[in-house]
Amino acid sequence: METPVTVCYAPCPIVFDLDGTLIDSAPDIQDCVNKTLATQSVEPLSLQTVRSFVGGGVDVLWQKIIAATGLPPARHADLVGDFMRSYHTATSLTVMLPGVAEALEVLAARGHPLAICTNKPLGPTRAVIEHLGLSGYFQFIIGGDLMAEKKPDPAPLRAAFTGIGADPQKPVGIYVGDSEYDATCAARVPVPFLLYTQGYRQAGLEQLPHLAAFDNWADLPGLVAASVE
């Protein structure tokens, strides 16, 4: 589902999602989830299952885990608290997706202001991008615990664009992400959305509004250039 082209003049601000877009963090998330489940004598969840639960933030993650495992919903806050104790510093199993650093280097060299808008809490976000050597590329970061709203609400993405100099009422820029949350959020701002197809999305490409899709990070600078006058 393609969206209309919105002209963005160089240097065009670009905001990125994190999990499933810049990094594959699902193995670390799975590890932290299963550590918490072990304290409840619950069988571990598979990587595929945990990956399918990622994207809406920690509260949504645990709502889905509770529904899948039959844990008492009243334990939600305790389970999240236990999970966060290990998740804050969980970086050892997370990897940068191939070609990400090279694409960011090209975009930064062209003068694009870059930011992150993620539903991942800010602490784990900063920990993982520092661990992977990515923090120097981003001038602004919106984590999932900085605002009352989370994606797909447009407020966090608007705040991210504002943080790198866009008009807070009518931001002009590009959002890059991998999921239903990201596509819907971009459409609600609205800004053009570039969809990374190898991430954590559950819906088909045709169901997600996007300007263009890519499965190789080497293609992203060209897609950005084609969207910029």
pLDDT digits (tens, 9 = 90+) for 87-98: 999 999 999 999
Domain identity same for 172 and 220: yes
Domain end call among 35, 68, 87: 87
Q: Is the pLDDT of residue 144 over 60?
A: yes
Over residues 202-229, mean pLDDT: 94
For all residues of the chain together, what is the average pLDDT? 95
Domain identity same for 184 and 107: yes
Domain identity same for 129 and 56: no
**Please, which residues bridge with residue 15 across strands?**
115, 175
Over residues 4-26, mean pLDDT: 83
* Residue found under tokens 């539903």: 119
Long-range CB pairs of 219-224, under 8 A, 24+ apart, other chains included = 220/103, 220/107, 220/176, 220/194, 221/103, 221/106, 221/107, 221/110, 223/194, 224/12, 224/14, 224/107, 224/112, 224/174, 224/194
Looking up residue 180, the CATH number of its domain turns out to be 3.40.50.1000
| Structural tokens at position 136 | 């120097």
pLDDT at site 8: 62
pLDDT at site 7: 52
AA letter at 200: Y
pTM for this prediction? 0.94
* Active-site option among 17, 24, 28, 145: 17
pLDDT digits (tens, 9 = 90+) for 155-212: 999 999 999 999 888 899 999 999 999 999 999 999 999 999 999 999 999 999 999 9
Clarify whether 17 is annotated catalytic. yes
pLDDT digits (tens, 9 = 90+) for 48-70: 999 999 999 999 999 999 999 99
pLDDT at site 47: 98
Residue 6 included in any domain: no
Provide the domain limits for residue 40. 26-87
Q: Give the SS3 label for residue 47.
A: helix
Q: Is the peptide bond before 168 cis (omega within 30 degrees of 0)?
A: no
Domain identity same for 66 and 108: no
Domain identity same for 41 and 147: no
Residue 59 included in any domain: yes
Residue 2 included in any domain: no
Quick one: which of 191, 201, 197 has its CA closest to 224?
Answer: 191
Residue 71 included in any domain: yes
Domain identity same for 65 and 126: no
Domain identity same for 83 and 129: no
Domain identity same for 205 and 144: yes
pLDDT at site 167: 87
User: Cβ distance 83 to 63 under 8 Å?
Assistant: no
Domain identity same for 211 and 200: yes
Domain identity same for 125 and 38: no
Query: Band of the pLDDT at 228, cuts 50, 70, 90?
Result: confident
Residue 9 included in any domain: no
Q: Is the pLDDT of residue 229 over 80?
A: no
Please state the domain count of the chain: 2
Query: Band of the pLDDT at 4, cuts 50, 70, 90?
Result: very low
Q: Is the pLDDT of residue 1 over 90?
A: no
Residue 8 included in any domain: no
Looking up residue 76, the CATH number of its domain turns out to be 1.10.150.240
